[in-house]
Structure 1
Amino acid sequence: MFYEEIFKSLNKRHIDYVVVGGVALVLHGIVRLTADLDLMLSLEEKNIARFVDVMNEFGYKPRIPVKAEELLDPKKRDYWLKEKNMKVFSFYHPHEAISLIDIFIYEPVDYNELKKHSVKMKIGNFFVPVTSIDDLIRLKKISGRKQDIEDIKVLKEIKKYEKKQK
């Protein structure tokens, strides 16, 4: 998987995260083209600090002209959300154009609830926490873009199929 080394490092550093967005769809079995990795993190300062360290080690840079460490400041995140309508903080890799990692700077749904409902999925020889289908639907409804509406339809079909299998 494209982000396998990132996942390994997040797990090794005990970073509290859940995979959401397009990669979560793919891990749930939906064939969909997506290049970016969307994550929700516990927004505790120590957790974000460890995450920023991982981004720095892998050579990722903030997409906006700020230092990555500014992500640790809850007042700064609140400002970005309220004044700039920024919902995610994006990291890009200068040598890998399609490598983009988006971190939610707020909780569109309660993070602890999302984490509790998450599903551990095996990738290679380790596990990754992936948002549940129900929570993925909730997140997609909140986002409400055209692609999200289409994704919701497919996610509901998967839920019907899984119910039949039980």
Structure 2
Amino acid sequence: MFELLPYQQGFLRALNEARVEYLVIGGKAMQAHRILRTSFDLDLWVSNDIENARRLNPVLVARTTFRAGHRPSDLTVPGRMIQFRNQHGQHVVDVLTSIGDLDIADAHANRMRLLVYRMFVPVAAIPDLIRMKEISQATSEDPAAAERDGRDIELMRERLARNV
């Protein structure tokens, strides 16, 4: 159910090798929790502290359209979302530096470690994913996106209820 494109697999492997602190969030995280959800892009939340940004910057420069010349401090700006495409121009990875008032250290402590494609991938826990979707829904200017967030919240709450 949790399927990644080869480009996405390589990107996560590079993040792991660079010891970047990140979490898989969004639709792929829902898939990792065995919730039926179509998702093609890979959404990541990265710690925006300067040391993590220094580890992340070379990965982005080497594997994405992120321009060389950016400084690691550019990746410490809260609220930033960087979208990347693969060599075919397909939108495949979103990197977020913050999500509302949530603390990535707390979310990281709650994470699930998923063994997939011969690597461990940190995936946000369902309660944290629900909170992220609530923030997205409340701040969305796109009614269709807000409606999708609402459906995702319902699916995740149903999953939690079945696990109790």
Alignment TM-score > 0.5, same fold = yes
Structure 1 25/132 Cα, relative in aligned 2: closer, same or farther at 3 Å? Answer: same
Partner of 1:21: 26
Q: Distance in 1 between matches of 2:34 and 2:153?
A: 14
Structure 1 50/138 Cα, relative in aligned 2: closer, same or farther at 3 Å? Answer: same
Partner of 1:134: 127
Partner of 1:118: 111
Could you list the runs of 5+ residues in structure 2 that have no partner in the other structure?
138-145
Secondary structure of the equivalent of 1:40? Answer: strand
Return the offset for 1:68.
Answer: 7.0
Partner of 2:90: 98
Return the offset for 1:123.
Answer: 0.4
After superposition, where does 1:27-66 map in structure 2 within 5 Å? 27-58=32-63, 60-62=64-66
Return the offset for 1:54.
Answer: 1.2
Alpha-carbon contact 1:49-1:69 (below 8 Å) kept: no
Q: How large is the RMSD of aligned CA atoms in angstroms?
A: 2.1
One-letter amino acid of the structure 2 residue matched with residue 132 of structure 1: A
TM-score norm. by structure 2 comes to 0.81
Offset from partner CA, 1:45-81 (integer Å, 9 cap, x none): 23123222112222x114xxx7672562378x35xx5
Return the offset for 1:138.
Answer: 0.3
Alpha-carbon contact 1:92-1:100 (below 8 Å) kept: yes
Structure 1 124/42 Cα, relative in aligned 2: closer, same or farther at 3 Å? Answer: same
